[in-house]
Amino acid sequence: MRRCVRIASALLAGVLISGCAAPRVSEEQIARVAKDWCMTIRGSQVMPVYPLTEDVLSGDVFLVTTTIQSEQKEFKQRGFLPLPLLVTRLHPSGIEDFYLSSHGTQGRTNPPYFWRFDGTNLETNRLCQMPRAAFPSYQFSTRGGGGLNIAVPIEAIPVAINLAGGKRVEGSVLLSDAYTYGFDQANLQNLLLDWAGRNSDLLEVLSPADGGTNYLRMISRIYLVGGVSVQVNSVGSFAGSASGGADKPVNLPNLDGTNTVEHYTSALASLSSALSTALNAPGGTLKVSSASSRSASLNETFPRPLVVGYLGFDLPVLPGGQIGFPQDTMMRVKGGATHPLPTKPLRYSADSNSTALRAWLREDPANVKKANEWLAKNYSAPNLANVITAGELRDVRKQMVEQLVQPPAKP
């Protein structure tokens, strides 16, 4: 047994040293891995959170300042959208009614904390009562693993890569212990509109001054994972090796030949223990579940579940601090057509700008395109047909006429 520990420690030292000495992974490679990771989350129709955090809640309202075009471009290129500015954290009520007192919500008012912490003991929780979710496995392949823990915030990945050895590896990550909770949009939207009514001064400041559009992004549902399982297989040959294609001997104690299952199990336990100690994962565990000459499998448990993705909706902040129509975040950043959510019908209130705008649009089909481009750049949410006559969009119409229709119409 002591021999096992000694060898496992030696192997761990090798792992860490090789991690430090691994070839530098380019920024492009890291970005690609991050994008692959986020694409997996997106594949489940969930907006990815990157990096992972436990401090994103249903009811959080973020400010988004990029235009819809830049946002769509960024979403395609990077795979995720940063959430830079938290405007406010609203606390929706009615978790007990929403889940009909099930999932441990009876008498509770502070989601998700009553699931995360069981009283004052931070080591225990009631997550087993939280609604469960499941994600597909995430496949990846890369050369070397030195920078992967920067791109993907899971310690098990670089460790597994180094354990499996090889210059080129393929692997998969399975998000385990996935949970979710959220609120209905009607509840959140009313809460946000109430807040907006009380904070119109702040919203006026947040409305764009340069003709762009800012959005309030309301998080309605979050997805958390409690751990990951990483499986890595070494493929191809080692760099600089004369024995190209040959298996790399992993120095696990006597895994081949005459060893018993007991020896193998104790070797894995020793290695898991040494890894967890060396990586100093606070409260979390990193356990080697299997290892061979060309593959390694590790299970990592996070100290507390982390948010990997969310669902939400966006509301444009119009000039003057008004709030526009809500739109589904995922649909909007993907550039798909969206039906406006059921809302109070707009009022017909045509004015001189309506006449000027309609005449200009009918003059040339290219003008319709110009007008839609201007709207997408500046507001995106209102539809051009509504802008022509709706009383609520009088200011948008006026701006459009002033900027696109020449000469400017007189009020």
For another protein, the binding residues (CB under 8 A) are 68, 325, 327, 332, 335, 337-340, 343, 345-348, 350, 358, 361-362, 365, 368-369, 371-373, 375-376, 380-386, 388-390
Task: Please report how close the Cβ of residue 365 comes to another protein at its closest, in angstroms.
Answer: 6
Query: CB of 183 within 8 A of CB of 58?
Result: yes
Residue for token pair 């948008």: 396
For the CB of residue 375, give the shortest distance to another protein in the complex, in Å: 8
Q: Which is nearer to another protein, 132 or 369 (CB)?
A: 369
| Closest CB to another protein among residues 107, 365 | 365
Question: Residue-wise over 9-36: b if at least 16 C-beta within 10 A, else e?
Answer: bebbeebbebbeebeebeeebbebbbbb
Least CB distance to another protein at residue 390 (A): 6
CA–CA dist 254, 264 (Å, integer): 8
DSSP 3-state of 135: coil
Instruction: Give kind and range of the element (H or E) at residue 373.
Output: helix 365-378
Nearer to another protein, 72 or 88 (CB): 72
Q: Which is nearer to another protein, 263 or 377 (CB)?
A: 377
Both tokens assigned to 339: 């039906």
CB 179 within 8 A of CB 226: yes
Output the CA angle 39-161-52, nearest 5 degrees.
40
Whole-number Å distance between alpha carbons of 268 and 299: 12
Q: How far is the CB of 90 from another protein (least distance, A)?
A: 25
- Spatial distance between the Cα atoms of 231 and 290, rounded to a whole number of angstroms: 9
Q: Which residues contact 44 (CB under 8 A, 6 or more apart)?
A: 135, 136, 309
Could you tell me the smallest distance in angstroms from the CB atom of residue 397 to another protein?
Answer: 12
Q: Which is nearer to another protein, 294 or 370 (CB)?
A: 370
Residues linked to residue 170 through DSSP beta bridges, in sequence order: 141, 233
Instruction: Considering the complex, state which of residue 150 and residue 350 has its C-beta at the smaller distance from another protein.
Output: 350
Show the tokens assigned to 283. 């409260």
Residue 300 or 392: the one with the smaller Cβ distance to another protein is: 392
Give the Cα separation of 302 and 300 in Å (integer).
Answer: 7
CA dihedral 336, 342, 345, 351 (to 10 degrees): -20
**What is the SS3 assignment for 208?**
coil
Distance of alpha carbon 178 from alpha carbon 134, whole angstroms: 6
Closest approach of Cβ 398 to another protein, in Å? 17
Shortest gap between Cβ of 361 and another protein (angstroms)? 6
If you ran DSSP here, which 8-state letter would residue 106 be given? Answer: T
State how far the Cα of 384 lies from the Cα of 123, in Å rounded to an integer.
55
Residue 199 beta carbon to another protein: minimum distance, rounded to whole angstroms = 24
Q: At closest approach, how far in Å is the CB of 72 from another protein? A: 10
Q: Which is nearer to another protein, 212 or 340 (CB)?
A: 340
Q: In this complex, which beta carbon is closest to another protein, that of residue 57 or of residue 68? A: 68
